[in-house]
A and B are shown apart, each in its own frame.
Chain A
Amino acid sequence: MTERISKSQRFKMMNPIIQFFKFIYLSIKIMIVVAGGHGGTREVK
């Protein structure tokens, strides 16, 4: 086993308080990507 994720990184990844803010941030970011619209690709603008 190679420890590729350091202890401090792992702490941040699993800390519920840090992750709560990450959850809000990710939810907004994902909404922007996914609900940010879609369309065709063929129309010449």
Chain B
Amino acid sequence: MSKIVILGAGISGHVAASHLRRKLSKEHKVIVVSPNSNYQWIPSNIWVGIGRMKSKEILFPLAPLYRKKNITFLQAKAVSFHPEGDPKESKPYVLSEYVVGEKKGTQEKVTYDYLINATGPKLNFEATDGLIPGLNKTYSVCTYGHADHAWHGLNELIQEMKKGKKAKILIGTGHAKATCQGAAFEYILNVEQELRKHKVRDMAEVTWISNEYQLGDFGMDGMLLSYKGMTMKSSEMVEMIFEDRDIKWILGAGVDKIEDGLAHYENLDGEHKTESYDFAMLIPAFSGHGFKAFDKDNQDITNKLFKGFMIVDADYTSKPYEEWSVQDWPETYQNPSYKNIFAPGIAFAPPHAISKPRKSKNGTDISPAPPRTGMPSGITAKLVADNIIDSIKKGKESLEHKGSLGNMGAACIASAGYGLTQGSGVSITTYPIIPDYHKYPKSQGRQLGKTFGEIGLAGHWLKLALHYAFIYKAKMKPFWWLIPE
């Protein structure tokens, strides 16, 4: 009998749990430890943040599903890692603390044979002074709660605009090293369309603020795309969309402080500037959760497991941008010190960024951290689950399933406005996710036919279709496994 513990029930944790349960016989235990009682399909938070979807449409409670599927669910949060056990407990374990019910606040040693750390990012709002969702007129759409709140804030402003108020809306990244530009990009386009629908577009100045050096960088070093038979830079495509929608932009901006309606930032020229706004949605920095790890003698071994996020089979040797290669990126997401620990999704420590790192004239790092979107999060979780399943079945370590982001494609279907006939989407695919400048030297590290962009109503339908398909899959309804990650 093997016991597999999964920390986190987001995209990667839930994918891993469902595949493990489907493919392993009942004698093996699958345990999910996660503090949130609900599963949420995060990509649809964009529509919650413009009031076009209710948060209940993008989430469902995990406990009944897990009960039905024979997955043990502990509504608790991981506190510390003990991969060798301790003087009293010979098995490796994760110290977890219950967050609800009678056991709230009590800690339990959750022992395991295999551990999947799928805790994603910590939304590190504290890294930017004054950036608190719902305060200082700034909002977030990173969780359904935040997105609900953002819609209330936006709706209040729209009502004021209807009465004649002129307003400034600022959307983008709220930290010099933030990532997830794609989500902010979707949100700004959706907000812009909503303003038009509410007939207040002419009352608003809409501005994109970002730590990207160029538009369309998306933390992926930008890309060359096939678009309508031409080869276009993603910067040109986004510029075209923004100009067409009358969206202004501020680039190379490291937001470092927020005051009521004021975003202070430093730019790459080293200038300190301030942008005022009436409503802002700024993506915070993402960081690791600050977990600690201890050996069997209770000595601190955090640096064997964590480098901010969890250490996996990446090459973490520090090297200049020019020497970065796809081989630096992990393939199996296994921790090199403890081979029964894995970290798919956002939980693993990337070897470095994807976008070229840049510093301001004052030496401040202002460039995007690497994004890890939903699709690769699901794929890496599935391959981790498959390797664990093989290892259990064969009785010895098996790492046949590999999936480097340097040998994997991703689709980013960015909503650009909601509505079955009036909606729009920007569909972008990239292959590979990490540019391979050796393999594709003439097309900015990516294969052109597989890296393409499209704009139009079909993109909105696609995003909506993905919403329903992935919620169906997450609910583990009949034949859910036929839907790819």
Contacts and interface: CB of A to CB of B under 8 A. Distances in A.
8 contacts: A5-B240, A14-B456, A16-B421, A19-B456, A33-B410, A38-B379, A39-B402, A41-B326
Nearest 8 A/B pairs, CB to CB: A13-B456, A40-B402, A38-B408, A22-B458, A33-B409, A1-B246, A23-B458, A19-B457
Contacts of B465: 27
B476 interface: no
Given A26-B427, A30-B429, A33-B431, A19 B403 contact: no
B414 to A, nearest CB: 13
A27 B462 CA distance: 7
Contacts of A15: 457
B456 A33 contact: no
Contacts of B329: 41
A4 to B, nearest CB: 4
A19 B455 CA distance: 10
Interface string A7-32: 00000111110011011001101111
B244 A19 contact: no
A44 B379 CA distance: 23
B461 A33 contact: no
B179 interface: no
Contacts of B454: 22, 26
Nearest to B399: A40
Contact of A41 (B331, B427, B431): B331
Contacts of A23: 458, 461-462
Most buried by A among B413, B452, B456: B456
Contacts of B411: 30, 33-34
B243 A4 contact: yes
Interface size bucket, B side? 35 or more
Given A1-B246, A38-B408, A41-B331, A22 B456 contact: yes
B128 interface: no
A33 B180 CA distance: 21
Chain A interface: which size bin?
A: 20 to 34
A29 to B, nearest CB: 7
A13 B328 CA distance: 40
B407 A39 contact: yes
B463 to A, nearest CB: 11
Given A3-B244, A34-B409, A34-B484, A41 B327 contact: yes
Interface string B206-228: 00000000000000000000000
Nearest to A15: B457
Scoring A16, A26, A41 by chain B CB atoms within 10 A of each residue's CB, the highest score goes to A41
Interface of A: 1-5, 12-16, 19-20, 22-23, 26-27, 29-36, 38-42
Nearest to B402: A40
A13 B457 contact: yes
B311 to A, nearest CB: 17
Contact of B406 (A2, A22, A41): A41
Nearest to A13: B456
Given A12-B456, A19-B456, A23-B462, A35 B484 contact: yes
Given A4-B241, A27-B462, 12 more contacts: A1-B246, A2-B243, A15-B457, A19-B458, A22-B457, A23-B461, A30-B429, A34-B375, A35-B484, A38-B409, A39-B404, A41-B326
B404 A38 contact: yes
B119 interface: no
B209 to A, nearest CB: 20
B153 to A, nearest CB: 25
A16 B457 contact: yes
Contacts of A12: 456
B407 A38 contact: yes
A40 B331 contact: yes
A40 B329 CA distance: 9
Contacts of A41: 326-327, 329, 331, 404, 406-407, 436
A19 B409 contact: no
A36 B409 contact: yes
B450 interface: yes
A39 B458 CA distance: 30
Nearest to A5: B244
Contacts of B422: 14
Contacts of B246: 1-2
Contacts of B452: 29
Contacts of A22: 454, 456-458
Nearest to A30: B411
Contacts of A39: 331, 402-404, 407
Contacts of A29: 429, 452
B459 interface: yes
B91 to A, nearest CB: 31
